[in-house]
Amino acid sequence: MIMKSKITMKLAYYTLGVVLYYLFIVYLFNGQKVIFPVFTISIFFFSMFLSKREMIFSFTLLYIIWVIQLFLPNTILSINIIYLVFIPLTFWLGYFLKNKSWGLKIIYPFLLILVGIYGFSNFFYFIKSFNTRQNEISPKVELFSNQNDLIRLDTIQNKIIVLDFWTTNCGVCFIKFPAYEKIYLKYKGNPKVEIYAVNIPVKRDTIGYAEKRIGKYDYSFPVLYATSDTIPKSLGFNGYPHLIIIKNQRIRYNGIGIMGVKNVFVDDLEDEIELLLNEDL
């Protein structure tokens, strides 16, 4: 009975220990690309010292936590799915390869590093870019310049209208603006392309406040302003930053807009613009 109790306690320590170790890695490395290879390579070699039962119990609690997260709001599904696939695979391979040659043991950590560098970003953007290309009639979009001039971009013909929607409390929006500036400068001289940053007001925002927030960065791209937060609903999105491309009164792209992201092979904003430009050839 005492022996059984010791075994149970040992399994509990392994189970809880893996969860605590993961939380420690998350705390230590504040970056998803680093967290994944460091954590998975560690548990790969750790599982080589476990029995089959210890190996199974070690990842069970963490696996259950990630399964539960699939049903929680604001969960990044692409990251969760990669962990749900690779964590049990890593434990099983570590256990299976513990008596094999070191050549086989080294190959898998290299694979984990590649997944950490390329897998997360590409899988995330692949999921986010699914069905972003559209061909639907644009609803009425009324925007204003900082001079309070009314502009109806959805009525413009024979031009590609790129709209990057942002809010004053969206940190990611401001992080992406330098990449957006580079794209604007590239197409600035093209008469068939118009690129704008579009501010959607949040609570207590005014056009003057939004103009002041973005104005201190001295970007070249023109900024337009909405006077209410109803436009996102009419265009079918509710998060920021968000990119809409309109051509000939039709929405041709409706998604997050990939720009300035390294090691990503999914089509980015420049690819989308070039695709629409080539339709005229």
**How many CA atoms lie within 13 Å of 82's alpha carbon, on the beta-carbon side?**
23
* C-alpha distance across the termini of the chain, in Å: 80
pLDDT value, residue 76: 66
Written as six digits, the tokens of 151 are 């502009």
pLDDT value, residue 232: 86
Q: Is this model's pTM higher than 0.75 or not?
A: no
For 49-96, how does the pLDDT look when each residue is reduced to its tens digit (9 = 90+)? 999 999 999 999 999 998 988 887 766 666 788 888 889 999 999 999
Question: Residue 32 — very low, low, confident or very high, per pLDDT cuts 50/70/90?
Answer: low
Q: Residues of 252-271 as b/e, b for ≥16 C-beta within 10 angstroms?
A: bbbbbbbbbeeebebbbbee
The boundaries of every CATH 3.40.30.10 domain in the chain are: 134-278
Cα–Cα distance between 225 and 177 in angstroms, integer? Answer: 16
Omega before 241 cis (within 30°)? yes
pLDDT value, residue 117: 73
Residue 161 in this model has a pLDDT that exceeds 90: yes
**Rounded to the nearest 10 degrees, how much is the dihedral formed by the CA atoms of 264, 265, 269, 271?**
160
Percent of the chain with pLDDT strictly greater than 90: 32
Q: Of 41-55, 58-72, 102-116, 121-135, which gets the smallest average pLDDT?
A: 121-135
For 52-64, how does the pLDDT look when each residue is reduced to its tens digit (9 = 90+)? 999 999 999 999 9
| Per-chain mean pLDDT for the chain | 85
Residue 182 in this model has a pLDDT that exceeds 70: yes
For 1-24, how does the pLDDT look when each residue is reduced to its tens digit (9 = 90+)? 556 677 788 888 899 999 999 999
Class of domain 134-278: alpha beta
The bridge status of strand 160-166 relative to strand 150-152 is: unpaired
Q: CA nearest 19: which of 1, 39, 47? A: 39
Percent of the chain with pLDDT strictly greater than 70: 93
**Side-by-side strand order, sheet with 223-225:** 133-137, 250-255, 242-247, 160-166, 193-199, 223-225, 142-144, 150-152
Question: Residue 112 — very low, low, confident or very high, per pLDDT cuts 50/70/90?
Answer: confident
For 206-245, how does the pLDDT look when each residue is reduced to its tens digit (9 = 90+)? 888 888 888 888 899 999 998 888 888 888 888 889 999 9
pLDDT value, residue 192: 93
